[in-house]
Chains A and B, each alone.
Chain A
Amino acid sequence: MRVLESKRPAKDYPVVAKEAADAAHLSLRAVTALEVASVIITVLVTAWAIAPMQLNNRWLASVPALLAFGMMINSHRLRGETPRELGFTTRYFGRALLLLLAPMLIGSAILIGIGYLAGSLQFSYRFTGFRSFLPLWGLMQQYVLQAFIYRRLKFILVEGQAPEGERVWRTRLAIFGAAVLFAIVHAPNLALMVLTLISGLIWSWVYERAPNLFALGLSHGVMSTIAVSSLPAWLLQSMSVGYKHFIYQNF
């Protein structure tokens, strides 16, 4: 029988045979996959089904997201995952920023370089307006991407008692999977899909080594602001995703 760590007393858990334990673990992985799919579906439904309705009461569009957040928080609670464990902590903040420094500098240089060549640099009102909002939005996205999607993918793919080599490549697979899902939900904006794929790989890689959502949220906000202020409008398309991507927007 697999020995597992738990915060709950052992007497609370029934003794099960190894085969039943394996089957139960398989079932839990299937449910975990359903959780991930459910969150992705929520994002796609909001972007592709709710957005076209152009609701007068825009707060209604946040109902699917609230349902998803409720499910995610419930999942954390049932699994005994604490906020600190998820990354809502000051621990690893400096380490995460250190790991993010080089990729952010390189990424910023590339984005600003493209903006300079295209003549689209606008570090004026947009920079000032976005810099206060985007880190918070970035924190929320990083929570969903890392604290839920990536953690669940890693649970599905990585066996706790597998050999070290297998655990490493399966962890990399989970990082790649999280980045791909992150890019998919930004469809059909191709430029944004490329940016989110690359940045998703980096952020998940950093989260694996220094799980701090505040640092990742800050990084997300800063890079989003630089991208908006650098890239030409025809390339970024108002950073719109889903159905709204097809509507003209004077961003």
Chain B
Amino acid sequence: MIAKPYKLALVQPAAGEVRLATRLLRAVLVKLFAEILFVCAVVSFAAFAYFNPALRGEIEVVNSERVEGWAYNPLATDERLEVQLFIDDRFVAATRADRQHDGLVARAGRQVDHCFSFTLAGQPLSTGRHRAQVYVVHGTPGSSRTLLPITKRGRLFEVKN
């Protein structure tokens, strides 16, 4: 059976098309602008949620025996962050930044009971220079977890015989 076209009625624009086109265009532009704003807001929110630029931390002591420092979230000061130590991009150990360390210099805006300490005794480190980096384990949207470095490039230290 071949059905003949039923001639779907077209809404032919009446005279006054200029005004109609203008109003339609205005609606498209308003919608587009609102959409752009929304996407920018979502992307910014997601970037903040994923990378949390508010996190603060520092590696204060690094040598062949130990790595110490502090890390905390100014937006959730009661939270004790989980930190992981990587040496030369290899995972070494994990702990929580929940220690008090009076030996660390207290800077403005930093709390001294968010310190961490890793012991490197027993770690198979070759003679020479190594890079230590500490990451904060950060929960992200979608029940994922990411590692956020607390310093830009980590800290170098040397192992001697």
Q: Report which A residues bind B (CB closer than 8 A).
A: 1, 4-6, 8, 12-16, 21, 24-25, 27-28, 30-32, 34-35, 38, 41-42, 45, 49-50, 53-56, 60, 63-64, 67-68, 70-71, 74-75, 78-81, 85, 92, 99, 102, 151, 154-155, 158, 160, 168, 171, 207-211
For the complex, is B24 an interface residue (Cβ under 8 Å from A)? Answer: yes
Chain B residues, CB < 8 A from A38:
28, 31-32
For the complex, is B103 an interface residue (Cβ under 8 Å from A)? Answer: no
- Please determine whether A45 and B35 come into contact, CB atoms closer than 8 angstroms: yes
Chain A residues, CB < 8 A from B34:
67
Which residue in B17, B42, B45, B141 is a CB contact (below 8 Å) of A25?
B17
Chain B residues, CB < 8 A from A6:
14-15
Chain A residues, CB < 8 A from B144:
54
4 new A-B pairs (CB below 8 Å) besides A49-B43, A53-B42, A67-B34?
A24-B18, A78-B24, A85-B11, A160-B10
Cα distance, A92 to B39, chains bound together (Å): 40
For the complex, is B109 an interface residue (Cβ under 8 Å from A)? Answer: no
Q: Report which B residues bind A (CB closer than 8 A).
A: 1, 3-6, 8-18, 20-21, 23-25, 27-28, 30-32, 34-35, 38-39, 42-43, 45-46, 140-142, 144
- Please determine whether B16 and A160 come into contact, CB atoms closer than 8 angstroms: no
Q: How far is the CB of B125 from chain A (nearest CB, A)?
A: 38
- Please determine whether A209 and B6 come into contact, CB atoms closer than 8 angstroms: yes
Chain A residues, CB < 8 A from B39:
45, 49-50, 64
Which residue in A35, A56, A208, A210 is a CB contact (below 8 Å) of B24?
A35
Chain A residues, CB < 8 A from B27:
71, 74-75, 78
Q: How far is the CB of A250 from chain B (nearest CB, A)?
A: 15
- Please determine whether B14 and A8 come into contact, CB atoms closer than 8 angstroms: yes
Cα distance, A207 to B1, chains bound together (Å): 17
Cα distance, A168 to B141, chains bound together (Å): 51
Chain B residues, CB < 8 A from A71:
27-28, 30-31
- What are some 7 contacts across the A-B interface (CB < 8 A)? A4-B15, A8-B14, A27-B18, A49-B42, A67-B34, A68-B31, A78-B27
- Please determine whether A42 and B35 come into contact, CB atoms closer than 8 angstroms: yes
B34 (CB) vs chain A CBs: closest residue: A67
Chain A residues, CB < 8 A from B142:
54
- Please determine whether B15 and A16 come into contact, CB atoms closer than 8 angstroms: yes
- Please determine whether A15 and B15 come into contact, CB atoms closer than 8 angstroms: yes
Cα distance, A158 to B15, chains bound together (Å): 18
- Please determine whether B21 and A67 come into contact, CB atoms closer than 8 angstroms: no
- Please determine whether B46 and A28 come into contact, CB atoms closer than 8 angstroms: no
Contacts A4-B13, A67-B35 given; indicate if A53 touches B43 (C-beta within 8 A). yes
Contacts A21-B17, A34-B25, A158-B10 given; indicate if A64 touches B38 (C-beta within 8 A). yes
Q: How far is the CB of A178 from chain B (nearest CB, A)?
A: 13
Cα distance, A94 to B30, chains bound together (Å): 39
Which residue in A64, A79, A92 is a CB contact (below 8 Å) of B20?
A79
- Please determine whether B14 and A211 come into contact, CB atoms closer than 8 angstroms: no
Cα distance, A54 to B141, chains bound together (Å): 6
- Please determine whether A53 and B46 come into contact, CB atoms closer than 8 angstroms: yes
- Please determine whether A155 and B18 come into contact, CB atoms closer than 8 angstroms: no
Cα distance, A42 to B35, chains bound together (Å): 8
Cα distance, A158 to B7, chains bound together (Å): 12
